[in-house]
Structure 1
Amino acid sequence: MESVVRLVLTHRRLIAALLAGLAVWSAITAVTHSPGTREVVVAARDLDSGVAVTRSDLEVRRVPHAAVPAGVTAIGDVPGRALAGPMRAGEVFTDRRVVDPHDLGANRVLAVVEVSAATGELLRAGDSVDLVAVDEDGAGATVAEAVEVVTVSTDPERDAAVIGVAAAPRIATSVARAAMTSRLAAVVVPRS
């Protein structure tokens, strides 16, 4: 044990220099080491809700694996689909951000409904709503129950919002008929 102590005391400056060098090397490695990354498709610019996405709206970026959300889409799966809600430049496209109005699942079609802009501002894709037809006398009748909101597009100049809901074909037809004769209101319902 004495020989080890003597060795350390004799070469303490050399050992201190080696440890300092190791610390500097570790710090530089930690700062410059890049984590594993993955390519994702992001919005090239701010995009409005309900618009059909084109290739010029897309950009590919590399992000750390930890920042990749679930459900990312491939670049070939995005063009032609509609945005479920507005997107900021740099946001990652996922399966919940874009929808294909022609492929909403088994026995579901897209019904497009106009509601007040205030209602549209509160709705988000994925919300479940009841659609109520309100006539001129103020009487209301439910025409669709617990349908899923797929797209929301607000037009502040018209004080209106256009929402797309996924519904069974029979329900979508009832909604279209009601929209011709009544004003429609959307009531958010909890998902079961």
Structure 2
Amino acid sequence: MRSGHAGRIGDFGVLRPDSEPGGVRISCSPSSVHRERTMTQQSTGHVSRVTHFALIVADQEAALDFYTETLGFEKKEDSEMGEDRWLTVAPAGREGVHIILRSPEWFDGRDADRYEELVGHNPMIGLEVDDCHATYADLRERGVEFASEPQEREYGVEVIAFDPEGNELLFVEPARA
């Protein structure tokens, strides 16, 4: 079963050097978690921040339930756009990057097939947490599937989980200085 409430994860933002300590940062690949400081220092100033990224999901309601009830995110936007639905989530009580829970039905023609193939195969999402072992224990108890137990790395502790669609979620507890 993949329900319940894991509590709030915290703030998140891609390439946001001003995030609060203990917050969550989202990235679309595991390597960006480790390159974040370098990337923010090399900014050209054209883009001030990332605001949204799309996660293609087969079932928007199931995805909404997982990200809000299991991970503790909150629904930020939910509106009809013609026959489609604009649905976003983000960690509760925080501003930052919104995850768009987008149906492949949004797209037409040749693009529809391409986006359908992304369901369960979206880029990995990196989530920074305060305590990776506690997050692992709590989410495992709630039925979240993991690739392994938390692993100690030189940059901190990490563990990979899967959302109901099969997308990878990388939880990282940064090493303390």
Instruction: Decide which structure has the larger Cα Rg and report it.
Output: 1
Larger relative CO (CA 8 A, sep 6+): 1 or 2? 2
TM range (shorter): under 0.3
| Structure (1 or 2) with the greater strand fraction | 1
| Structure (1 or 2) with the greater helix fraction | 1
TM-score, normalised via structure 2 length: 0.22
